[in-house]
Amino acid sequence: MNEKNLDHSHGHLEQDNLDSFTLIIEKKLDKKQEQENIKNCISKVIESLGKKIIEVGPGIIGHIKGRIEMKDKIRFSFVDEKQGVEFEGNINSEEKIDELEIKILAVVPVGGKELKKIKKKTKEEVDKCFN
């Protein structure tokens, strides 16, 4: 299967001047962390990613969404600053975990080198949550 098929709906995205990136980050932590702390840190990363897209794009985001899969699993979504990062699902805040997976999909009106830079920066910011 070619890349175009994997990154589906390419034609639709082009029609609306949108582009996308996906990040899947698996982590094994040296020291256990509370689920709530991880949720809060990722929330900040997503908010900052959204603000960056607004700053460098035409002032609007498509959609940034994803999942944090810890012992509990939650979905997050960000479309604008007013609504902020919204979560779907519940977590046991104090539960400590040392293994997780974060999936991020950003469909945004920014492309090319700028989008690659933003993707790289996002990964670095996620990594910082666990240092």
Partner 1 sequence: MFETNFVIVTGFLGTGKTTFIIELAKRLTEEKDKKINILVNDFGQIAIDGETLNDFGMEAKRITKGCVCCEVKQDLVAQIRDLKKNFEPDIIILETSGVASLLPIYRTVEQYVDEIETLTLIDVSRYDKLMEKFRTVENQLTFADRILINKIDLADDEEMKKIEEKVSKFLNKENPDGQLHKISARKKIGLENVVSGIVQ
Q: Which residues are at the interface with partner 1 (CB under 8 A)?
A: 1, 5-9, 11-13, 15-18, 20, 22, 24, 58-63, 65-67, 73, 75, 77-80, 82-83, 86, 88-89, 103, 105, 107, 109
Q: Which is nearer to partner 1, 21 or 30 (CB)?
A: 21
48-73 exposure pattern, b = at least 16 Cβ within 10 A, e = fewer: ebbebbbeebeeebbebbbbbebeee
Min CB(127)–partner 1 separation in Å:
19
Question: Is residue 19 within a helix (H) or strand (E), and if so which, with residue range?
Answer: strand 19-34
Q: How many residues does the chain have?
A: 131
Min CB(8)–partner 1 separation in Å:
5
Q: Which residues contact 82 (CB under 8 A, 6 or more apart)?
A: none
Q: Which is nearer to partner 1, 5 or 131 (CB)?
A: 5
